[in-house]
Amino acid sequence: MSKPFHVIATPDENGYTVTIPENPNVSARCADAVDIIPTATAAKEQDEQNRHEKTAACPKCGKIFTGYPATSRADNKTKICPEN
Ligand SMILES: [Zn+2]
């Protein structure tokens, strides 16, 4: 089971642009309103898979970590390792 999440669907002439506020990297398009949730869910899962494959050096402690980073409370945007 995945956790509930917010979806923003912006209509335009060809359908909808789907974005997820919690996952700013996620953006997808769909043609029909009934596809908004499935499209958003698939895009979110793809983003999470991509993140799990990523390796980054923590700017705070220098440790190499993989997977979902935590967001620094200092500036609310720096990605740091989850242990901080
Ligand atoms: Zn760290």
* Domain ranges, ordered by start, for the chain: 1-53, 54-84
Residue 4 has pLDDT above 80, yes or no: yes
pLDDT bucket at 2, cuts 50 / 70 / 90: low
Higher pLDDT, 77 or 41: 41
HSE-CB at 3 with a 13 A cutoff on CA atoms is: 5
54 SS3 class: coil
* Ligand 1 center from residue 13 Cα (angstroms): 45
How deeply is 79 buried, as exposed, middle or buried, from its count of CB atoms within 10 A (0-12, 13-18, 19+)? middle
Residue keyed to tokens 């979902």: 68
* Ligand 1 center from residue 75 Cα (angstroms): 15
* Ligand 1 center from residue 69 Cα (angstroms): 9
pLDDT score of 7: 96
pLDDT of 20-29, one tens digit each? Answer: 998 888 999 9
